[in-house]
Amino acid sequence: MTKETVNEIKNNPKYQELVTKRSKFGWTLSIIILVVYYAFILFIAFSPETLGTKISPDGMMTWGIPVGIAIIIFAFTLTGIYVKRANSEFDGLLNDLKADLKGVN
């Protein structure tokens, strides 16, 4: 790929839109999952007895286990949300960009 082609891609408004939208969405999801993970860790650090409480008086499982599993499921869900948006919106923008570049060359 030549420097001219790279500059042409970088200066294309559709490329800039794609990069901006994808970056903003990626950072938003990253911040959400970091907040959830850090809240969980802080909860464990400052209130371990809460998550260490048994679900039932005669049972063995504590509340920490389902909460931890829920956080993992939440992370997978956020990944699915990103993939769905990437396959619909971001791929469409990328295809438009490719069509523009083929039309110019």
pLDDT (tens digit, 9 = 90+) per residue, 21-49?
999 999 999 999 999 999 999 999 999 99
Number of domains in the chain: 1
Q: Is residue 8 part of a domain?
A: no
pLDDT band at 105 (very low <50, low <70, confident <90, very high): low
pLDDT of the residue at 104: 60
Q: Is residue 75 part of a domain?
A: yes
**Residue 89 sits in which domain range?**
20-100
Lowest pLDDT segment from 6-15, 21-30, 59-68: 6-15
0.85 exceeded by the pTM? no
Give percent helix, percent strand, percent coil of the chain, each to the nearest 5. Answer: 85, 0, 15
Beta carbons within 8 Å of 104's beta carbon, 6+ residues apart? 8
Higher pLDDT, 100 or 78: 78
- Cα separation, 75 vs 77, in Å, equals 5
Q: Is residue 15 part of a domain?
A: no
